[in-house]
Amino acid sequence: MIAVVICMVTLSAFTMSTEDEGYSVGDIATDFKLENIDGKMVSLSDYEQAKGFIVVFTCNTCPYAVAYEDRIVALDKKYASKDYPVIAIMPNDTDVMPGDNMKAMQARAKAKGFTFPYLMDKGQKIYPQYGATKTPHVYVLEKTRKGNEVKYIGAIDDNYKDAAAVKTKYVENAVDALLSGKEVEQKETRAIGCSIKVK
Amino acid sequence: MKQFLVIIILVVFGCKNSNEVQPVEEIEPIESIETDLEIYDFEGLKPFLNQEDDKIHVVNFWATWCAPCVKELPYFETVNRNYADKNVEVLLVSLDFPRQYDTKLKPFLKKEQLNSKVICFDDIDQNTWIPAIDKDWSGAIPATLIYKNGKRKFYEGSFTMENLEAELKNFLN
């Protein structure tokens, strides 16, 4: 009997803690000051003109993230000029994943022609606040009077394998809706990704 | 995809054995020997996640490209070996990319000689099946489902041998 009670307490504690982690749609996302691949520090508040942001937790070493690199570049090309720039954040511990260290990030950004900041979540303080669990993991934020409000959480689109076979472009739909002052229809989606690496 | 595979095999065998392109019918048995992978979509996977047979099923979602998944595979292998007499069955569900079945997954399986059953799961509709497998699963792997009849628990994250055995013990009574 005691074992059952302990088990139930443990279970409920586990459930509660997972619910507390990270943002839900409607929450205000924290700003940050993270180092970019060019050595400069980047914050959301630097973007005075921005109407919002496409924050992408991504990395070099995850095949899913790699599969989406070109599509992340395309998102920035399409939406930076509409004041919804891409901000990419690399959340992995680089001792665990040396392939995600600053040098490797610089090399990848250069090779793939990243047009957006590729920031290191040094000390891994930011991704847990957002509640990112994997790469790639996208948060679309809208700049409001209250702050940067989370409007969409999840995948970039519905086909990791083949960009040409995508049926629903989740992130584009969300940003398009926000740009035209509409409600985002699909606010959360799930996709497989690589767990964020910690020590 | 299958056609593609057949073409690849045709090419490979065509080169190795003879310059003649052999008819598909003759190639198929060779393909089945070469590709002993069981590949399922979500409809096909579902029965593996809902067996009511009094066994404890440990279902681990993994991929060869997922370093923490590969790291914990020996723990699942140990469980499969040491708890077989206690009605525990391990199923390793590979989320490897189909285009890497031949280049990554098969060589890995050949090298590791896993004693747990391995199946491949390939279904593009992730936004449907991820929450269907567990409502709180964000989609990160490794992830593991342990269930016995109606009782089930889902774990997103890595296991140590100790943690895995501790969780398993909750199902053993």
How many domains, in total, are found in chain A?
Answer: 1
Q: CA-to-CA distance for A175 and A85, rounded, in angstroms? A: 10
State the pLDDT at residue B4.
52
Same domain, B139 and B69: yes
Number of domains in chain B: 2
As given in the structure block, the two tokens for residue A104 are: 């490797």
CA distance B42 to chain A (A): 14
Task: Look up the domain containing B167 and give its range.
Answer: 39-172
Distance between CA atoms of B147 and A182, rounded to whole angstroms?
43
Chain B hits for A191, Cβ within 8 Å: 126-127, 130, 139
Segment B36-41 mean pLDDT: 94
Does the beta-carbon distance from B127 to A195 stay under 8 Å? Answer: no
Q: What ipTM does this complex have?
A: 0.83
Q: Report d(CA A177, CA A157) in Å as an integer.
A: 15
Q: Does residue A172 sit within a domain?
A: yes
Contacts of B157 in chain A (CB under 8 A): 195
Is A11 inside a domain boundary?
A: no
Same domain, B85 and B8: no
Q: Is A2 inside a domain boundary?
A: no
Q: Are residues B22 and B54 in the same domain?
A: no
Q: Mark yes or no for CB contact A63/B156 under 8 Å.
A: no
Give strand pairing partners of B59.
B91, B145
Q: What residues of B are in the A interface, CB distance below 8 Å?
A: 65-68, 95, 97-98, 124-127, 130-131, 136-142, 156-158, 170
Same structural domain for residues B30 and B87? Answer: no
- Contact by Cβ (8 Å): A41, A159: no
B144-165 mean pLDDT? 97
Q: Test A193 with B126 for CB contact under 8 angstroms.
A: no
Instruction: Supply the range of the domain harboring residue A78.
Output: 24-195
The pair phi, psi for residue B104, each rounded to 5°, is -115, -55
Tell me: do B111 and B160 sit in the same domain: yes
Pair B16, B84 in one domain? no
Task: Note whether B136 contacts A18, CB cutoff 8 Å.
Answer: yes
| Tens digits of pLDDT across chain A (199 residues) | 555 444 444 444 443 334 457 999 999 999 999 999 999 999 999 999 999 999 999 999 999 999 999 999 999 999 999 999 999 999 999 999 999 999 999 999 999 999 999 999 999 999 999 999 999 999 999 999 999 999 999 999 999 989 999 999 999 999 999 999 999 999 999 999 999 999 9
- pLDDT tens digit string along B90-149? 999 999 999 999 999 999 999 999 999 999 999 999 999 999 999 999 999 999 999 999
Which CATH number belongs to the domain containing residue A191 in this structure? 3.40.30.10
- Quick check: is A4 in a domain? no
Q: Could you tell me how many CB contacts below 8 A there are between chain A and chain B? A: 66
